[in-house]
Amino acid sequence: VFRPTSLTTMPFNYSQVHSVGVQATFRMIETQQYGLQGNDLDKQAADTVAEQFVTMEQEMIHGDRFAGTSAIPAQQGGVFDFVTATNGAQVTDLSGAALVRSDIDDELENLFYSVGGDKMAKTIVISAWGKRKLSSFFSGAERLGPGTGQTAGIVVDRLNTDFGVLDILMHTAVRQDELYILRRENHRMGHHGTLGRPQLRQLPPSSTGPRVQQAFYADVASIHSGPRAEARILGFSTTT
């Protein structure tokens, strides 16, 4: 049975500019520092690029959709803004109760009847605590490893269910008390043209002193579609 997931009432997303500058004096650039490969500017630039890509990953999940003002730039919304009950997603608040296997199975069953097995989400994106809790569901299957018997433990990266096999992805962008069941094809991030591509740009010479200036720049936006095929479980206990 075909079950459409298109929603004409879904809000469009905004793009978000990342612009972060780094600089170093001529002296620092020419000074070789112990334990540092390259110069001080190289180190700052590498750290900034890494931090900005982590930030974009966090925006993909928990970005706060905002149109922007004359004082505050526009911000892109993440999964949090679009996978909502208002948009047709299955959302369950456990209000501090412990997460159990049936909570996940119930959501999968709801998705199965909502959009069908072929179109429903097949990836769980989860916090570190949630991943530990999910793995603990199968602690009864734990056995010592072969050979010396010094290896033991249960790590679950794929979950076999009546509704298909789900991949499990642990990510720091997800809150400790929540998980998302997502369809990967429904979420994408891209940049505007060639100038919006994430890049490290050389800036004109400083007018305030002998220093070199660079800036990380990116103009990106994400697309989140088909929330009826997805689910969110939030508010579960992070102690039990």
SS3 track for 69-127: CCCCCCECCCHHHHCCCCCCCEEEECCCCCCCHHHHHHHHHHHHHHHCCCCCCCEEEEC
Average pLDDT over the chain, rounded to an integer: 91
pLDDT average, residue stretch 143-171: 84
pLDDT surpassing 80 at residue 8: no
More confident residue, 32 or 129: 129
Tokens of 115: 């959009």
Question: Total domain count for the chain?
Answer: 1
Which of the four pLDDT bands, split at 50, 70 and 90, describes residue 148? low
- For the cut 90, the answer to whether the pLDDT of residue 152 exceeds it is no
**156 assigned to some structural domain:** yes
Residue 8 lies inside a defined structural domain of this protein: no
Higher pLDDT, 76 or 142: 76
In a domain, 97, yes or no: yes
8 A C-beta contact, residue 123 and residue 166: yes
Residue 140 included in any domain: yes
32 pLDDT higher than 90: no
Least confident span in 51-55, 150-154, 191-195: 150-154
- Is the pLDDT at 19 greater than 90, yes or no? yes
pLDDT of residue 2: 43
- Residue whose entry in the numeric block shows the structure tokens 């989860």: 126
pLDDT-wise least confident of 100-109, 141-150, 220-229:
141-150
pLDDT value of residue 1: 39
Question: Domain containing 32: what range?
Answer: 16-234
Q: Is the pLDDT of residue 29 over 80?
A: yes
Domain annotation covers residue 167: yes
Task: Copy the structure tokens of residue 141.
Answer: 């299957």
Structural domain contains residue 5? no
Q: Is the pLDDT of residue 150 over 80?
A: no
Residue 4 forms part of a structural domain: no
Q: Which residue has the tokens 């689910």?
A: 231
pTM of the model: 0.86
Work out the angle at residue 120's Cα, subtended by the Cα atoms of residues 96 and 235, and round it to the nearest 5 degrees.
Answer: 10
Model pLDDT for residues 209-228, shown as the tens digit of each residue: 899 999 999 999 999 999 99
In a domain, 84, yes or no: yes
Residue 146's pLDDT is what? 64
pLDDT per residue as tens digits for the range 162-207 = 999 999 999 999 999 999 999 999 999 999 989 999 999 999 988 8
Q: Is a pLDDT exceeding 90 seen at residue 3?
A: no
